Each structure stands twice: as structure tokens, then as C-alpha cells.
Chain A
């Protein structure tokens, strides 16, 4: 009996393995057809990993509304987040959504390598094609002047701070720091009183370079010449910024002992109340709410302090809704129409902005997070006025930013090999934050040589 059962087990194992392999043909043969019954199916960037259900529902609702207007298009929103690490494999593996957003910094490179599609003709059909702020549209154009997507959101970097920690440290949460010296002393107060990191800065996965560049701009320096031919990393402003980070980290000990941060982890740390202040795009509040469930009452947003230098400005960036190079013309057109519907028209047409806000409101999503104009300032203002009744983000805790940002110069990111230069700068930031005896001048001169080698 026992022997019989044993044999049965062994046989079962073999049968199972045989059966599963014979399924292979079936599984692989049934490739999904994107053009069944004459409809064009596109997959679109829907939500970020970790987003709450409300966010997902809102996107799906929008997709349903879009499909009602465009009965010949099927829209499938999926989870997606821009990640340089997986982009080329996803492209090669045909796993990209038809349309997705990429940072301003990456559009030109992707266009040059023909990894995203030229959608000039479809963009030009849109009613506002002529009205883009030219410097914003430039971010969506390749070096050949063609348009590779819609610039859908523009941010300026702001200083995000935790109002609760400010209060606990005896600081006034309604008067955030206006100079870097104040940032430093406030950070120290927070660290001393609460034991949390008073100030934190991103340092890994190219965000270290991104934020060091931001700090450099705020202090009046630049990382590259305007034509992108010369690296200017070893400038005084960068050295000054690094020295400040060094002193906060090692002398004041106001940055905590964990410095290994990039975009998502620093958001998580901030939302968890572990960080007093940090720099990030002005629109990061959306992610703080939908992904990290930040307490709105504790959130504050200030303009970035600028030095007296006439060149001081805030780093501005944004994203372009691009279309996969592998999409067919019909899919490209559908993708641009979807991006118009879902992402762009609300920045232009007050009625569409209201319609969008209605959907967001129904799903309890943040409305009114500060952004910067994609068209002209009047258009932007009329949209802001239209959605005013729907605003549910604590705008009165962001007045420092919203009042001050239009007085600041918006400086675009370094023009050439942006992400690689950021990668080189990552090491510099990490070195300063992890080695008390780092030699800032020699680090910068080395980094400059490496960057110059890239720029040629």
C-alpha cells in the first residue's frame, strides 16, 4: 500500500511537469491583438506603485469618460512610474505603456535614440498648439525641432517642511526660512529639540545630482555652460552649497545619520515625520498624499531661499507625456488624444479644469497643488480661478511658495547629458554626507573632469 502511494506521487510529479510544459504553446500562441473589432487599444500610465485605491479609481473613471467620447479607442491605465533603470528593457520587451511621462531631462536623449515617437502632426491638431510657453515646449522637442510629446506639468523646486516639527522646535510654522542661514539654524533647532533630521537631502540614483544642481542654482552657480559644451561643476556656489551640507551633517549634526535617500524614500521619511525640511518639486504634495498619506495639517511649502547673486534662481523641470516609438500611427494619435483629454486640456481650458476637479473630488484626490504655467500666466491664472472652489490642499500653508515663486527666475536643468552629470554628482554628495574629511574642492574638480569628458 505504502509503496503504491509512493509510486503514485512520483508519477504525479512527472505528469505535472509534462502537462505544464505542453501548455506552453497555448500560452504563447494567444498573443493579445491590439486591434480587435477595429478599435485601437492603448495602455497608458495610470498610477504609481503604492498608490491608494482612490487614485486608481479616478484614473479609471477618466478612462471611461474618454472612451465614451472616443468609441473607437480603448484605454487601459496601468501602474507605471518613470524609471531610467528599466526603461530600455521595457521598450525592448514591448512592455512600455503606449504613453507615459518622462522627465524634461530625458526627452532629448530618448528622441535622439528614436525610442519615443515623433508626434508633431498630432500635437499640432490640438487647439492650443500655438499657445505653449516656448521654453516649456522646448523641453518636449528633440534636437531636430520635432515634438515628441506634450509637456503636461511644470514644477519649480520648493522647500517642503513639517509644520509639527517646526512647532515642537519652538519655530513659527508660518514663517519658514528665507535664507540658507535660517534653513541651517532652523534645522539645528529641530534636530536639537526633536531628535529628528532637521534637514535632509536626496543623494542616490541621480537625485543627488538633481538636488545639488538645485542648491547650486539657488546660490547663483551653474553646472554647465548654456550651450552644454562646458562643465562648470567646480564653481563657488556648488562648493559653498556642499560646505553647508557638510557643516549641517557633521558640525551641527542636524541632518540625521541616514543620508541614503532618493525621491520616493525621502517622501516616505518626510510623511512619517522623520524629516524637518527637504527640497523637491513643488508638486510632490500629490505623491505625499496619494502614496504616503501625509497629514495635511503638518505640511508646509516655502519658496527656496535664493542668494544675493543676480544669477540665483530655482531649478525648474517637468514631465513630457511621450509616446512609445513602437506604437502604430493610430495608437500614437489615440495616445495624444488621451493625453490632451487627461493631462493637458485642464491646464488650458477652465471648463475642462473644472470637469477634472469634479472627478478628482469624487475620489478624494488632491486638487490645487502648486504648479507652474505651461502656457502663459493669464491662462494659468484663469485655470487656478476656475478650480478654486474645489481646492482641497492646504493652500494657506503654501503661500510662501505661491506668492513668491513668480518673482524667482526659473532655471532649466543642465542641457547636455543631464542624467549622467547627475550621476557623477551623486558620488560627490554621498562623499560629503558620509565622510567628514571629504575634500570638497578636489571632489568638484574630479567631477568636473568626468563631466567634461562626457560633454566632449
Chain B
């Protein structure tokens, strides 16, 4: 649950010029010289006043981003290996009395961060798998198979996008407590964390829109060749869907890693809780340097994940959520 605006990416199949309808918004206009036009013109940038001004503005922006965005994380990295008293007394000094690498080990072993770390990994993988399954099969049925009533169904799915997640907190909790028909109690099981994550209208919309834009004649040709629903799905549609699967995947994993409220409610057993839920509790009873080491460990994986898959995260666009 992001407090401000959720960054919602959009993915489209690479448009083949003769097939793609009007999709100009996504495509960069290329100039004859093959250069992208921005606010300032090449001519302006050659003027000394503008050149200096741009250098200052762009350089200032870089410094600002370094301090504001990277700064806190670097500070955390520094303080994670600094003794508590130094962090308290000289929060901005660089190791006035040396480093204390032991903090990381203490956090990992003594306060059992490894357990919560693996819990988080399990929750992330499970939530990812459920979200993938639901979005890909659902999107396929809605976009390609289009059985009767699928428009209404899609509408019902999209409608849930406008029901705030936390409004459902209590009824969802009671549902998970005593699942209809089966009377399974999913509280304190990872299924209680995985399955509700699958009910993401955003994923379904994203995948459906991607499938909608797949070249129709490829699918029609496959149909003519006698390709059934399953073979069409497996051999034609899925292989063409790598981009959208990638985007859904990285956001699913990140969202699971970040989630706080739902696991707080559905996993009351400390031994099963993920880092997000456990950290605030541990922070109240643990020495500061170890807490900071624990915080560093907790954001190391998502940051590494982001650096590896940055292209998927940083492809922009709001169309998926907007048009959906």
C-alpha cells in the first residue's frame, strides 16, 4: 500500500508497424538525426549562459538525488557497522571509534533475522507464484478465449481496484480464518499470505491488455491449424509474453517484500512473520546498532533485486492502470 501515488507500469508487445494501431504515446519520436528532442534545443545548449545554467541545475539535481535518495541508505550502511554509542553521539561521523562488523552477525544470528529473512523469501515466492497463475490464466481467458460474460467478469475484477485494501482488512481476515465451504483456517499459514495477494486486479488488467495487443492473425493462424486452448496458451501466447511476465513478476516480488499490514494480521506467530512485521517489534527490545544492522539486511535484497531488474522497474507509463 503506497501512500502517495503507486507507480504502475505498462507493457505492450513490440508493435509491428503494419499491425499496430495508433500507439504513438509509447513510441519515442525520432528525429532525422536520430536524436531525441527535449525541452532545450541543441542551439540553446550551445549558448554559454544556458550551458552554465544547465550544468548547475543538472549537477545540483544529481547532488540532491545523491543526498536525498541514496544518502539515507548509505547512512544506514555506515551505522549498521558502527557501535551504538558512536551512532548516538556522533550520528554523522564516519566511524570515530572504528567499525563493528559483529552487528551484522548479531542481527542475523542472535535476533534470528535469518528466520524472518527466509520467511519473507517464502512469502515473496509464494505470492509471486499465485499472482502469476491468476493473472496469466485469467488474462488469457479474458483476452483470447473471451467466453460469454467475460466483459462483466472483467468489470467485476476491475471494480475491486477501487476498493481500498485496508477496507477489506477485517472481512478478509475473517474469511481467511474460516474459508467458505472448506472451513480451512489459513491464519498462521503462508497460504493466508499467498492467496489474497493473487486477487490483484492490476495484474490481471496488465496481462489482459498485453494479450489484447498480441498480433491477432498469429492466433487466428494457430486456430486454423487446429490449435486448442491449452496448446495455444502454452506454445503461442506464453512464449510471446515474456515482457509482461517480467514486469508482473518484479512488482509482485517487491510488493510481497514490502507488505506490512496484511502479514501483520494474518501471521500472528512470530516464527512465521516476515521482516516487515517483525522488525518494529524487535526494534523495541534490541540495541540500536543491531537494529540498524537488521534494517540494512532487510533492504539489501530488494535493492539488489531492483538494481538487477532496473529496466523492468523504470519503464514508465500509467496506461495500464488508467485505461484498464
Contacts and interface: CB of A to CB of B under 8 A. Distances in A.
A11 B282 contact: no
A89 B266 CA distance: 9
Interface in B128-177: 128-130, 132-133, 136, 173-174, 177
A86 interface: yes
Given A20-B130, A21-B130, A50-B282, A95 B268 contact: yes
Interface of A: 3, 6-7, 9-11, 13-14, 16-18, 20-21, 24, 27-28, 48-50, 78-79, 86, 89-90, 92-95, 264-265, 267-268, 272, 291-292
A27 B185 contact: no
Contacts of B256: none
B129 A93 contact: no
A27 B245 CA distance: 27
Contact of A79 (B129, B249, B270): B270
Given A28-B186, A95-B187, A50 B285 contact: yes
A78 B188 CA distance: 14
Q: Is the interface of A mostly helix, strand, loop or mixed?
A: helix
A95 B187 CA distance: 8
Contacts of B287: 268, 272
A110 B137 CA distance: 47
A213 to B, nearest CB: 23
B130 A27 contact: no
Contact of B129 (A21, A27, A28): A21
Contact of A272 (B84, B271, B281): B84
B81 to A, nearest CB: 19
Interface of B: 84, 111, 126, 128-130, 132-133, 136, 173-174, 177, 182, 184-189, 191, 194-195, 234, 238-239, 241-242, 245, 249, 265, 268-271, 281-282, 284-288
A13 B270 CA distance: 30
Contacts of A3: 239
Contacts of A13: 132, 245, 249
A92 B287 CA distance: 34
Nearest to A48: B285
Nearest to A293: B287
A437 to B, nearest CB: 30
A49 B129 contact: no
Nearest to A195: B89
The B interface, classified by DSSP as helix, strand, loop or mixed, is: helix
Given A50-B111, A92-B177, A272-B288, A10 B270 contact: no
Name, among B129, B270, B271, the residue most crowded by chain A CB atoms within 10 Å (CB to CB).
Answer: B129
B285 A292 contact: yes
A50 B286 contact: yes
Given A7-B239, A11-B238, A20 B186 contact: no
24 contacts: A7-B238, A11-B234, A13-B245, A16-B129, A17-B129, A17-B133, A20-B194, A21-B129, A21-B130, A24-B191, A28-B184, A48-B285, A49-B270, A49-B285, A50-B286, A93-B188, A94-B187, A264-B285, A268-B284, A268-B285, A268-B286, A268-B287, A272-B288, A292-B285
B238 A93 contact: no
A49 B282 contact: yes
A11 B241 CA distance: 11
Contacts of A265: 284
